Structure 1
């Protein structure tokens, strides 16, 4: 314990001596002049930023029709305008100093300030490629601290100091430096994996030669492979022994198999759905009382959007084990049946002809597939018919096209004098009945 404490104090003393040495190197003649120039660059950058920001905002409002990614990068540059201007002014001042005093050395304070400011600016801008906010902050601050220590000449000393802060369990030694490296390296690798997966997903999604289900499956496998590789490469890069992790992952896998059966079942069902192509994005399905089209296929669930805007997240297992009606599995053609009745006094041949013509008058009804109308029976009050027609866009809804055809039938029947009967009952009161007597008594009263 005393040895570790002495080593930690020795590392801290080394860092402090390095800082004192760098300060002595910076405190050369004209140091006050350099500090004044740096403060002047800060003030000038602040003044110019306040003058440019309103004009920059006005110019950006005129670009509202541009792609979102271009506007996003313009906003990033606008938010870091003052830092970028300070780096520009500081480097300009460095060039002037180099021309006058001939000291293009990073030992000088103004050169160090210009270099660190430029590094900060490019790190903050480049970090925006990371979409996750927390991960972006980790990468941004990690690279900022690293660049600052590197250009200040303190990197080796600080690394030795952090390496002295460790937790030991037998042969295992975990240092604070290793933890920071793991977080930074893994964050960078995850950002790169996310960027690669998004680019690959866009390219695969635009490839019409691949079926929609295979596109989703390829993207899912690619994401799993990239993120897994980023995780393990990040651990290996900081010297973590993956042998123990293999044993631990096996134990975790057994525990997941018992405790997360439903989750695993949904994951496996999702892979099966993607492989057998039973459903795919854009298909119109009905499952129980849910009718809609598939918006997306997830690893655990399928997103189904109904006509009223509701989005149902149906577990993949329900689609494998339950009865699903896929209205557009092999093709988009859907037949719709309508039932109606007419009076016995109407000519059935005319009714059938008028009904078929009325169906064809609706725009969504296909004329390439023949519509038919048949008598299904003689009811108590009407002759019963069935009208069958075809559509090819079930995603646009079924109720609305049925309503349009019913309305066309109403108009056509009125035009041809065909009546739609409703149940009627005739009641005859026979003389001498109790009801008739009661009625006579009431009239007599």
Structure 2
């Protein structure tokens, strides 16, 4: 604001004010011309409004919403809606108090044509962002899969959503992708996720003994939840093995499923080795049948 008023004083001091020859009309409808300085002042005030609303959003989320909710995704969504409302109301006040609306007809017509032909994708993504904020199918902190991208949502803006992968790579996805394509949200209803750990053993092993070993491993792992408890399913008689499925619940490895599976597989291998449990491998029997003698010519 100091820079703004200082600039106005400096322009007035050198004779560049609203009555200056440099302040020419950009368009005219009736008796309400759109002056250059008025347009520049509106643009400056709108930019200042967006900047200040962003700062107010941060204060609102961290100082106000954090007292009532611990869900950062909900807080960010409410804060973004608050920012949009502030920008909309403030923008209307700035335009109405600075420029006569009748003088904007020519500019609004040109802008409408531009939006209709050149800004369709931007408008689509903006509306999709509003749908995401109000319906909240995804929010900041969720673990999602969309297309070939898997990661955590770190930011939802008016045009795009930022997703951070396990390799700390930020991927910018247009908001329309979350509306028009199927999205897998791992944490939509909570942070407790069940993982499947397939295990195969030789046919000579006792299924009850295998179940006891697997449950003992899962129960002792510090990141496996005991409520709901882990379970073991006898899935099928495979071609070369008895196939089991170890089911475990966790709330800490939702964004690192392969790490938890790797830890469990290490423990399973050690326990199987300790109890002399055979881990099978594919075997094939080849039968060679001699062909009949070829007729002599």
Quick one: which of 199, 205, 208 aligns to 2:55?
199
**What residue in structure 2 maps to residue 293 of structure 1?**
152
In the alignment, is residue 271 of structure 1 matched against residue 108 of structure 2?
Answer: no
**What residue in structure 1 maps to residue 20 of structure 2?**
163
Q: RMSD in angstroms over aligned alpha carbons?
A: 3.3
CA spacing shift, 1:158–1:328, aligned 2, 3 Å: same
Q: 1:88-117 CA deviation, whole Å, 9 max, x = no partner?
A: xxxxxxxxxxxxxxxxxxxxxxxxxxxxxx
- State which structure, 1 or 2, has the greater radius of gyration over its C-alpha atoms: 1
**What residue in structure 2 maps to residue 145 of structure 1?**
10
- Mapped contact 1:284–1:328 kept (Cα < 8 A): yes
* TM-score of the pair, normalised by structure 2: 0.80
CA spacing shift, 1:405–1:224, aligned 2, 3 Å: farther
In the alignment, is residue 219 of structure 1 matched against residue 75 of structure 2?
Answer: no
- Mapped contact 2:58–2:79 kept (Cα < 8 A): no
User: How far is the alpha carbon of 1:241 from its aligned partner?
Assistant: 3.7
Unaligned runs of 5+ in 1: 1-122, 128-138, 150-154, 435-445
Separation of aligned partners in 2, 1:384 and 1:195: 59
In the alignment, is residue 409 of structure 1 matched against residue 295 of structure 2?
Answer: no
Between Structure 1 and Structure 2, the one with more helix by share is 1
Between Structure 1 and Structure 2, the one with more strand by share is 2
**Alignment map for 1:171-320 (pairs within 5 Å):** 179=36, 183=40, 187=44, 189-190=45-46, 192-194=48-50, 196-206=52-62, 207-208=65-66, 209=68, 211-212=74-75, 213-227=77-91, 229-230=93-94, 232=95, 237=98, 240-246=99-105, 248-250=107-109, 252-320=111-179
Query: Aligned residues, how many?
Result: 281
Match of 1:308, SS?
coil
In the alignment, is residue 358 of structure 1 matched against residue 222 of structure 2?
Answer: no
**What residue in structure 2 maps to residue 58 of structure 1?**
none
